[in-house]
Amino acid sequence: MTFISAAAALAAVGHIARTGELRARGVTTRELARASNAGEIRRVRRGVYAGARTDDGMLHAAEHGGSVSCTTAGRMLGLWILQEAAGMHLWLGREGNLRRCTRSRCAVRAHWDDGDGVLGRIPPVRNVLVQIAECAGEETFFAALESALRQSLLHPSDLRWLARRLPRDLHWLLAFARADADSRSPPDGRLRACCPWLITGETRMRRRVRSGHAVLRIRLR
């Protein structure tokens, strides 16, 4: 039988995985125990392991049973993020279960929206944009949207999906965003130049996104 190292298997699946995924790749229970004791991998919680150098934010999200989301995920995807959303944001897919972690005074903001959340996997770009629309201001959402268009990260079907889930008063930003806007200037600059009376530094989205998306703020002690 060919030996499969736990560290190599984790790297292949995305640095965080459940025991079942690793066993399916040929990693034995003995190898998981050996690699964990040797510090080659980390035990996130029961039945979940991560690579030794996995980002702490990804580990924290996995402890709660989800993946990083919102502006943090947007930055990891290469989107232009003007302002980070406060606190820890994580994605649980449509039906994921939020778990408690062992960290003290942990405050998280959980996103449930379309899709199946997978530990260690960033949500799709369109989901990330809906999350940003809920938690950040119009400027931050528009900048992320237009940078996604510039990088060809959105399909026309994704734009239709967004239109069904964003508040109606944000639909004009979908129409205003361009894939061919000047990449040398920040996306929000064009928005401010066009509509200076609509956007201010204090403007924040506090509306709930329509059906298919829910947000819950939870403080875990």
Domain ranges for the chain: 6-54, 60-220
Predicted confidence at residue 181, as pLDDT, reads 65
Most confident of 95-109, 161-175, 192-206: 161-175
- C-alpha to C-alpha distance for 29 and 22, rounded to whole angstroms: 9
- In this predicted structure, the answer to whether residue 200 has a pLDDT above a threshold of 70 is no
Per-residue confidence (pLDDT) for residue 191, from 0 to 100: 61
Cα torsion angle, 172, 178, 181, 187, sign: positive
Residue 104 has pLDDT above 80, yes or no: no
As to burial, measured by CB atoms within 10 angstroms (0-12 exposed, 13-18 middle, 19+ buried), residue 154 is buried
Give the model's pLDDT for residue 155.
Answer: 94
The reply to whether the predicted model has a pTM over 0.75 is: yes
Counting beta carbons within 10 angstroms of the beta carbon of residue 199, is it exposed (0 to 12), middle (13 to 18) or buried (19 or more)? middle
pLDDT tens, position by position, 42-87:
999 999 999 999 999 999 999 999 999 999 999 999 999 988 988 8
CA atoms of 24 and 169, how far apart (whole Å)? 47
Question: How many Å apart are CA 72 and CA 139, to the nearest integer?
Answer: 16
